[in-house]
Amino acid sequence: MKRINLVARKFILFLLSTIMVLMLININIIIVLADEFEHDRFFNEASRLVADNWDDGFIGSIVFTIGSPYMLVDGVPVEIDPGTGTTPAVVDGRTLLPIRALVEEIGGSVSFEPTHQRVIIYDDQMLELQIGSTIMSVDGELEYIDVAPIIINGRTMLPLRAIADNLGFDEPKWDSVTQQVTLTRSFQTRRLIVRTSFSMDFNQFNATDIIQGPDNITVLQFSTIHETYEAYGQLSVLDAVIWVEPDTYIPPFEEVMVSADFPSLGSFHRSWGVERIGADRYAEFLRNNGRDQRVVVAVLDTGVNSGHSFLQGRMVDGWCFITYTSNPYDIQGHGTHVAGTIVDSTPGLNIQIAPVKVLNNRGSGTDLNIGNGIRWAATRSDVINMSLGGFGRSRFMYDSIQYAN
């Protein structure tokens, strides 16, 4: 009887321990699933916010050169005032710009009242300036400027610094060697990304939209650049804020045309680099040594044309952060080009492409979608490829890469 009781007790203990282990496993599964659900919710809400507040007038940079009738808008030459030869000028050591071209490039408008010699600029704020006067009105508030607007060859020239400060531009960058001034607009998306040490109430900052994400990350959308910058300053000094930054716009790159017809290179491969770097020999080595296990490569780009003949049998499901759907189709071409290079470099290997569309059909985007694309791919792929540009200073991007690591 004692032996039977002992066996029974051991069985009960074994049963209980097994149940506890199973419960712990289930709890861990629930935690993982809840974490994934929280991330996916944030991905969708953040993507929708970016799409709802997108503006094709966003710019990466505008570069003026003293004496040149052209400005560079994201590297593309644009004539400042077609047919007139109007150029920026330096007067009394201050840079003056032909203002209409700059304002219209960012989606604003300029009117000139010849009777009162008054310039009115409508953008994020309303600016009023008088030719020959060093007083400027910003939404009705008077400000002093260091040099008065003037007219040169019938064109209104306004002081660079005063205009940049009140049109939402960052501090102008002046190159004395090239005589160039570069303007950027970090807060133009009117959106902040914030990471705090604990959950915070952000209602006091008058954002139009607030999206709470994992890891105490919050996205705040505002109505104007001015409100965005004001909130940035307020958040920057709070002890609970680990970092806060604008959701920076990333400009488009050169369009890539991808054809179904490939030029003959005299070899099996479609690109010269495969043989040059020995990728084909390395792929053969892996195959011969039984090291051709499945590897999923997430391509964060403009999407991928999964119907392309060259990519057949190499695609797995992806995601589109532009339309927040499971259809990351590529119209621009760059993402398909990148995916094709990966496939071409891995002949006979079990390398699968997961297309993650974080750039729109023009090839532009923001740090928020790209950072979220990294987080999405981290749990669904083995390798993340990002052949894209940007300014390289995003803390959100950095933290997303650390999350992937």
- Residue 24: what pLDDT? 66
CA distance 50 to 191: 9
| Lowest-confidence region among 33-42, 124-133, 176-185, 282-291 | 33-42
| Average pLDDT value over all residues in the chain | 88
Q: Where are the domains of the chain?
A: 62-183, 290-404
- Residue 263: what pLDDT? 47
CB 349 within 8 A of CB 287: yes
Residues of the chain above pLDDT 90, percent: 60
- Confidence category of residue 28, pLDDT binned at 50, 70, 90: low
Average pLDDT over residues 244-271: 69
- Residue 259: what pLDDT? 55
Instruction: Provide the sign of the torsion angle of the four alpha carbons 313, 295, 297, 343, taken in this order.
Output: negative
Which residues does 122 contact at the CB level (< 8 Å), separation at least 6? Answer: 108, 109, 110, 111
Closest CA to 306 of 324, 288, 331, 274: 331
Three-state secondary structure call for residue 28: helix
pTM: 0.84
- Residue 392: what pLDDT? 64
Superfamily of domain 62-183: Copper amine oxidase-like, N-terminal domain (3.30.457.10)
| Lowest-confidence region among 3-12, 49-58, 322-331 | 3-12
Average pLDDT over residues 24-51: 75
Q: Tell me, which fold does domain 290-404 have in CATH?
A: Rossmann fold (3.40.50)
Q: Is the model more confident about 93 or about 227?
A: 227
Q: Is the pLDDT of residue 114 over 60?
A: yes
Q: What is the secondary structure of 221-276 as a DSSP string? A: E-SSHHHHHHHHHHHHT-TTEEEEEE--EE---------S-----SSS-SSTHHHH
Q: Is the pLDDT of residue 189 over 90?
A: yes
62-183 shares its CATH topology with 290-404? no
Token representation of residue 12: 């009960």
C-alpha distances out from residue 373 to 75, 157, 322, 358, Å:
26, 43, 11, 6
Which one-letter amino acid corresponds to residue 297? V
Q: Is the model more confident about 121 or about 30?
A: 121
- Residue 317: what pLDDT? 96
Average pLDDT over residues 364-368: 96
CB 80 within 8 A of CB 126: no
Q: Is the model more confident about 298 or about 171?
A: 298
Q: Is the pLDDT of residue 289 over 80?
A: yes
Strand 180-183 and strand 173-175: the pairing is: antiparallel
